[in-house]
Amino acid sequence: MKRLTKPHKPLIYIFCEGESEQQYADFLHQNFNDVAVLKRVNKTGLFDFAADKFAKDVKYRNNLPVTDEIWFFFDVEEFDRDKWGERFQIIKKLRRLRRNPPIRVRLLMTTACVEYWFLLHYQKVSPVIATPAEKTRILHQLQNFVPDYRKGSKDPIWAIGKQYPTALQNGAQILTSLQSEGLPTLDDTDERNQWLVRCGKTFSTVQEAITYLESLA
């Protein structure tokens, strides 16, 4: 059933690490354009790229008064652990670009590779994913469900996206299980996100962004 169009739809900019994330963001735009204005940035790039866009690009600056959220859609790998401090400074700066209320910055994080998030659309698993071989194993598991999957390929990624209700459930359950490993809270806080970036555990938070979109219906 088609959702009723909202009179005011939040404006959300999405910055993506890679082409697969971009295609999934485009799927979300297509699926939720009745409740939110999702603007996926054309080029790939994350925190420094976003800071530069909002500082120098007139189009982005002019939209600041009506920008509600900024999303970063990316993988969390071992080398990201030491980047938290620098990235957190950018997050705080982006929040302050609008006041009353400030812009919300949401981190759509997935351990090691976006294919793990895609795999959650079909099954609940949380293996260690760190080495190239372990990433390849996740890719092959995904291709058991979606044989024609290739990075950045629209049709298979949009087909995966249609299974998102399963991913919402699996992703949330796996995140909840990390409470026994020391996760400080399930709430989307800076403390929690810092822990997730540095914990070395397998997880995704992408489901939280989609749950938010569903709440707008």
pTM (predicted TM-score): 0.94
Report yes or no on 146 lying in a domain. yes
Report yes or no on 92 lying in a domain. yes
Total domains in the chain come to 1
Report yes or no on 135 lying in a domain. yes
Report yes or no on 6 lying in a domain. no
**Assigned token pair, 37:** 């204005």
- 165-206 residue pLDDT tens: 999 999 999 999 999 999 999 999 999 999 999 999 999 999
Report yes or no on 4 lying in a domain. no
Task: State yes or no: pLDDT of 2 exceeds 70.
Answer: no
Report yes or no on 2 lying in a domain. no
Enter the DSSP assignment of 15.
Answer: E
Boundaries of domain holding 120: 11-215
Between CA 185 and CA 192 the distance in angstroms is 6
- Mean pLDDT value across residues 151-171: 98
Mean pLDDT over each residue of the chain, to the nearest integer = 95
Predicted pLDDT at 3: 52
Report yes or no on 169 lying in a domain. yes
Between CA 33 and CA 22 the distance in angstroms is 16
Phi, psi of 40 (to 5 degrees): -85, 125
Report yes or no on 28 lying in a domain. yes
E strand map for 56-174: 67-76, 104-111
